[in-house]
Amino acid sequence: MTVKIYHNPQCSKSRQTLQILQEEGVAAEVIEYLKQPPSREELTQILQALGMRPRDLMRQGEAEYQQAGLDNPDLSDEQLIQAMLDHPRLIERPIVVKDGQVIIGRPPQRVLDIL
């Protein structure tokens, strides 16, 4: 079983999700996505697996979202993906990937759905 968690150690939900994985005995690859953002391909695969559009995976309350005018409905999916790559803080967290299945750990207990 291959498990990755796109993790922000400053986020309580992310820490709780990682703790659940550890309690379940899962040795997940921890990716601190603020330091090591996903590639365009990885982000696109995550969106496809979640069945989401880019804006749905964005933290719309972040200052970067407002400052960059990302609430503009005329922006394309590619422009929104690029914004997440340029400003990884905009990516909702935590994201857990297991063998092609993806969940957002909100609430953290959702991670149990793919284990």
Active site residues: 11
What is the chain's Cα-based Rg? 14
Give which of 109, 95, 85, 115 is closest to 52, Cα–Cα.
95
Give first-to-last CA distance, the chain, whole Å. 9
Structure tokens at 114: 């793919």
Cα 28 to Cα 25, 46, 86: the distances in Å are 9, 17, 25
